[in-house]
């Protein structure tokens, strides 16, 4: 069952194909229809944050390029050209509705670092308090591979906990999730409601076949998992259909709805650890430690066999079995150098080895999430 009654805060993510013509030029009419719907939601008392793609496409249009360039620096340059054009159009159109908008450009580092995340949350809430609509995009011009989120489906999902949104709406060029890519398989059927994302659902989604889109349905399912695991709902709607955003809230029930009630419902810290933090290294543990972690015990030095990478106390690391399976992710209480010295030892020996004994555990159970399966996320 869709729950749309008490929705107060929504994030609306708009894909490039829903903002641009096929040749990449920004389609002002599409932005006008989007803003008209946003203005209606605001009139109804909702808070709206927009995550808008389209910078690279707008840059392609401005430079009259027939297709997306291959190299990252070229894409970054086009994003820098296109982002300014995009915002100019948003601003002019929002003015028609007597509304103000603002630009927020983000990278993965803004979610990875707890302090920056807090700053982001404060800024977003201050904008909301001013009644100004934040328009978010990845800071593509500066996003080298290591700090990129990579696609705006994921970026918008990561924002849900930051502003405590009730619903994420992904506006795409298609009605929602089909049993297979309908551009390839015309027999594919639209799903109206996904109770729980399992392997079967994940297998239905593939990449984008359009010239402008980035992640296709695969990144939308990944986004739904992030949002549903926070206990919130997500819906995919077709931006090419009239009023598809408004129809989420009426009897039309447009798009595919992903139910937030059936996710892992992770608490804020566990959700951050699972989806937003980047691991700085690896701790390799023996079979006994693997079993203990899966039984929700803390990681003690005695079960540690090796350490990979350099990290400080307070940073996030992966915990990996000797077979290479990622078991958990957590915040360490000792640095990599200290762990190399205390690995294989009992906790009471820490004082003798390090000349201090602040904690028994290398990772406390409260600062750790257990990861299911052989994930390489």
Ligand X SMILES: N[C@@H](CCC(=O)OP(=O)(O)O)C(=O)O
Ligand Y SMILES: Nc1ncnc2c1ncn2[C@@H]1O[C@H](COP(=O)(O)OP(=O)(O)O)[C@@H](O)[C@H]1O
> Considering only 36-44, 157-165, 207-215, 268-276, which stretch makes contact with ligand Y by CB under 6 A?
207-215
Find which of ligand X, ligand Y, none residue 26 binds, CB within 5 to 8 Å per kind. none
Tell me the C-alpha distance between 170 and 221, whole Å.
11
- Residue 139 binding ligand X, by CB under 6 A: no
Q: Annotation-wise, does 211 bind a ligand?
A: no
Tell me which H or E stretch contains 144: none
Could you tell me which residues come within 8 angstroms of residue 39 by beta carbon, excluding any fewer than 6 positions away?
97, 99
Burial class (CB in 10 A: 0-12, 13-18, 19+), 118: exposed
Q: Annotation-wise, does 217 bind a ligand?
A: yes
Q: Annotation-wise, does 140 bind a ligand?
A: yes
- Residue 321 binding ligand X, by CB under 6 A: no
DSSP three-state, residue 370: strand
- Residue 24 binding ligand Y, by CB under 6 A: no
One character per residue 44-83, x = contact with ligand X (rule: CB under 6 A): ---------xxxxx---------------------x----
- Residue 332 binding ligand X, by CB under 6 A: no
Beta strands (DSSP E) in 36-94 are 47-52
Tell me the C-alpha distance between 265 and 170, whole Å.
21
Q: Which of 24, 134, 161, 215 binds ligand X (CB under 6 A)?
A: 215
Q: Which of 208, 228, 238, 333 binds ligand Y (CB under 6 A)?
A: 208
Tell me the C-alpha distance between 356 and 56, whole Å.
53
Least CB distance to ligand X at residue 27 (A): 13
Cross-sheet strand order for the sheet of 100-106: 100-106, 132-138, 47-52, 9-14, 167-172, 233-238, 256-258, 193-194
Contacts with ligand X by CB under 6 A lie at 15-16, 53-57, 79, 137-138, 140, 151-152, 212-215
Contacts with ligand Y by CB under 6 A lie at 15-18, 172-174, 177-178, 180-183, 204-206, 208-210, 212-217
Binding-site annotation: residue ranges for ATP: 13, 172-173, 214-220
């Amino acid at each position: 069952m869709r729950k749309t009654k008490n929705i107060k805060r929504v994030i609306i993510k708009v894909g490039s194909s829903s903002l641009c013509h096929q040749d990449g030029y920004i389609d002002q009419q599409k932005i006008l229809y989007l803003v008209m719907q946003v203005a209606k939601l605001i009139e109804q008392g909702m808070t709206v944050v927009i995550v808008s793609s389209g910078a690279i496409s707008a840059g392609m249009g401005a430079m009259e390029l027939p297709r997306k360039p291959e190299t990252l620096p070229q894409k970054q340059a086009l994003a820098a050209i296109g982002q300014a054009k995009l915002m100019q159009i948003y601003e002019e159109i929002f003015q028609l509705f007597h509304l103000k908008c603002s630009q927020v450009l983000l990278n993965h580092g803004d979610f990875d670092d707890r302090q920056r995340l807090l700053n982001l949350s404060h800024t977003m809430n201050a904008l909301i308090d001013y009644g100004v609509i934040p328009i978010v995009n990845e800071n593509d011009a500066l996003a080298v591979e290591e700090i990129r989120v990579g696609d705006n489906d994921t970026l918008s999902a990561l924002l849900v906990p930051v502003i405590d949104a009730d619903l994420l709406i992904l506006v795409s060029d298609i009605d929602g999730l089909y049993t297979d890519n309908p551009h390839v398989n015309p027999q594919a059927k639209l799903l109206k409601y996904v109770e729980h994302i399992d392997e079967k659902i994940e297998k239905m989604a593939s990449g984008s076949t359009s010239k402008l889109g980035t992640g296709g349905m695969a990144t939308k399912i990944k986004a739904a998992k992030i949002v549903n695991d926070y206990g919130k709902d997500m819906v995919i709607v077709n931006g090419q259909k009239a009023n598809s955003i408004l129809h989420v809230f009426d009897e039309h029930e447009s798009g595919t709805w992903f139910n937030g009630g059936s996710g892992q419902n992770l608490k804020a810290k566990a959700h951050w650890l699972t989806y937003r933090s980047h691991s700085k290294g690896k701790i390799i543990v023996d079979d006994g430690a693997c079993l203990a972690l899966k039984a929700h015990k803390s990681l003690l030095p005695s079960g540690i066999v090796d350490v990979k990478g350099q990290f400080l106390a307070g940073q996030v690391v992966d915990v990996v079995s000797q077979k290479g399976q990622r078991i958990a992710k957590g915040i360490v209480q000792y640095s990599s150098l200290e762990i190399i010295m205390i690995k294989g030892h009992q906790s009471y020996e820490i004082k003798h080895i390090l000349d201090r004994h602040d904690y028994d555990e290398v990772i406390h159970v409260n600062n750790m999430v257990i990861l299911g399966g052989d994930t390489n996320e």
